């Protein structure tokens, strides 16, 4: 019986519409954007995805130089350009970095000041400018989450922003917008979504609602990720992966994540390992660490199945394959031990536990 208090919130309206990006102008108007500012990155512009959207929008300006890892300075620059263009809302086209950078830019655009001053949980005092997101990857879940993770390049640290005001007003899911993603990125972002699903099932804040979404996402990813990796033009597979990513995002933004994300954050911050790749390597070891015989929602052979899925998607299985040396493991464990993701890990993980996890995955 569910006897534990819980709350569940997804402030974002989710619209699934194959080919919908070509009508982004109408969708932007639905959330009150009359003078849209477009945010994307160069790669997306090169493969024509930005044109597909901007052709239908009367954009007043754009920023197409979001780096692969969003940072504070870029967000402040975007906010300044938005003011200069007299924009009244944001259309973000991209993956996690673009979406998080758009969230950061929106904070400064709306509330002013330095972005770093707004970091933390529940710091934002009011609504932000209207914000439409069109994801081009399927994994981060950032299109429905209330968080943004952005790098402070001067202090070499990652800052976290969390507020219900940070959520997009509308997420437009169009499978065609993810179909030019290369196999490696498809695999890595897909395993990020899998990690969100599995970790939210194991998290201390899990509820029947997050479990429903997470179990659905997990089943879809097992079934469709290899197909999306194998043939990027398989729009059925792309569509299912978008649902799964969004479902897993809605789950973990309410349930929390855990030890696998703590390790992945350390690998990203100290050794620049891609977030999805880091999660994929650590996931079987993290599940094994958190394994609980009384957990009915995970298949009993989960540890092996997750490792097999990563292998089938041609992802690395060990930390040594992504440039980590044995001498790095202590520092990684120290960083992970201070990571906020551990708050929702049901089993307490000490620095020694984390070191053992990294050693097992090495
Ligand atoms: Fe993640």
Ligand 1: centre distance to CA 152 (Å)? 19
Ligand 1: centre distance to CA 260 (Å)? 9
Instruction: Give the number of C-alpha atoms closer than 13 A to the C-alpha of residue 15, restricted to the C-beta side.
Output: 20
Residue 46, phi then psi, degrees to nearest 5 = -65, -35
- The 10s digit of each residue's pLDDT in 100-109 is 999 999 999 9
Contact present, 110 and 82 (Cβ < 8 Å): no
Ligand 1: centre distance to CA 192 (Å)? 5
Classify residue 54 by its DSSP letter: H
Whether 215 has a pLDDT exceeding 60, the answer reads yes
What DSSP element (H or E) covers 15? strand 13-16
Q: Which residues contact 74 (CB under 8 A, 6 or more apart)?
A: 65, 66, 67, 101, 104
Contact present, 233 and 288 (Cβ < 8 Å): no
CA distances to 218, 291, 295, 320 from 300, rounded to whole Å, are 14, 9, 9, 28
Report residue 78 as tokens.
């975007």
Ligand 1: centre distance to CA 249 (Å)? 9
Ligand 1: centre distance to CA 276 (Å)? 7
Ligand 1: centre distance to CA 53 (Å)? 26
User: Which residues are bridge partners to 242 per DSSP?
Assistant: none
Q: What is the mean pLDDT of residues 178-200?
A: 97
**Phi-psi sector, 295: left (phi>0), alpha (psi -120 to 50), beta:** beta
The DSSP-derived string for 338-353 is T-GGGGGBSS---HHH
In this prediction, residue 4 carries a pLDDT of 84
Q: Global pTM?
A: 0.96
Smallest CA-to-CA distance from 361 within 327, 334, 321, 331 is with 321
Smallest CA-to-CA distance from 192 within 268, 250, 278, 273 is with 278
Q: Strand 61-63 vs strand 89-94: parallel, antiparallel, or unpaired?
A: unpaired
User: Comparing 156 with 200, which gets the higher pLDDT?
Assistant: 200
In this prediction, residue 158 carries a pLDDT of 84
- The 10s digit of each residue's pLDDT in 217-238 is 999 999 999 999 999 999 999 9
Smallest CA-to-CA distance from 249 within 193, 298, 287 is with 193
Q: Which residues contact 183 (CB under 8 A, 6 or more apart)?
A: 229, 230, 232, 313, 314
Whether 2 has a pLDDT exceeding 70, the answer reads no
Own/partner contacts of 303-310, CB < 8 Å, gap of 24 or more, are 305/222, 306/194, 306/198, 309/191, 309/194, 309/221, 309/222, 309/225, 309/226, 310/187, 310/191, 310/280, 310/281, 310/283, 310/284
Contact present, 86 and 35 (Cβ < 8 Å): yes
Ligand 1: centre distance to CA 200 (Å)? 11
Ligand 1: centre distance to CA 157 (Å)? 17
Ligand 1: centre distance to CA 21 (Å)? 25
Instruction: Give the number of C-alpha atoms closer than 13 A to the C-alpha of residue 20, restricted to the C-beta side.
Output: 22
In this prediction, residue 157 carries a pLDDT of 80
- The 10s digit of each residue's pLDDT in 292-320 is 867 889 999 999 999 999 999 999 999 99
- The 10s digit of each residue's pLDDT in 69-112 is 899 999 999 999 999 999 999 999 999 999 999 999 999 999 99
Ligand 1: centre distance to CA 26 (Å)? 31
- The 10s digit of each residue's pLDDT in 239-294 is 999 999 999 999 999 999 999 999 999 999 899 999 999 999 999 999 999 998 67
Q: What is the mean pLDDT of residues 133-147?
A: 96
Ligand 1: centre distance to CA 341 (Å)? 10
């Amino acid at each position: 019986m569910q006897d534990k208090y819980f709350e569940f919130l997804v402030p974002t309206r989710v619209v699934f519409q194959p080919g919908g990006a070509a009508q982004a102008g109408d969708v932007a108007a639905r959330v009150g954007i009359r003078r849209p500012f477009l945010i994307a990155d160069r790669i997306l512009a090169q493969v024509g995805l930005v044109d597909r959207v901007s052709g239908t929008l009367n954009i007043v300006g754009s920023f197409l130089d979001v780096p692969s890892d969003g940072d504070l300075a870029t967000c402040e620059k975007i906010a300044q350009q938005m003011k200069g263009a007299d924009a009244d809302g944001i259309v973000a086209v991209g993956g996690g970095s673009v979406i998080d950078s758009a969230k950061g830019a929106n904070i400064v655009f709306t509330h002013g000041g330095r972005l770093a001053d707004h970091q933390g949980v529940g710091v934002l005092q009011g609504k932000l400018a209207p914000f439409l997101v069109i994801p081009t990857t399927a994994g981060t879940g950032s299109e429905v989450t209330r968080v943004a993770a952005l790098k402070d390049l001067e202090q070499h640290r990652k800052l976290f922003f969390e507020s219900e005001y940070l959520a997009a007003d509308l997420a437009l899911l169009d499978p065609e917008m993810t179909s030019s993603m290369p196999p490696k990125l498809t695999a890595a972002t897909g395993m990020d979504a899998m990690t969100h699903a599995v970790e939210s099932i194991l998290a201390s804040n899990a509820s029947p609602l997050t479990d429903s979404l997470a179990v659905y996402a997990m089943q879809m990813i097992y079934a469709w990720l290899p197909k999306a990796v194998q043939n990027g033009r398989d729009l059925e597979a792309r569509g299912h992966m978008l649902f799964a990513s969004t479902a897993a995002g809605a789950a973990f933004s309410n349930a929390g994540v855990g030890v696998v994300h703590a390790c992945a954050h350390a690998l990203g911050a100290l050794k620049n390992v891609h977030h999805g790749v880091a999660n994929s390597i650590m996931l079987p070891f993290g599940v094994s660490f958190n394994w609980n015989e009384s957990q009915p929602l995970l298949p009993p052979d989960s540890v092996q199945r997750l490792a097999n899925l990563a292998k089938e998607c041609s992802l690395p299985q060990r930390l040594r394959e992504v440039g980590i040396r044995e001498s790095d493991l202590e520092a990684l464990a120290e960083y992970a031990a201070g990571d906020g993701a551990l708050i929702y890990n049901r089993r307490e993980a000490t620095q020694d536990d984390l070191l053992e996890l990294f050693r097992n995955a090495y």
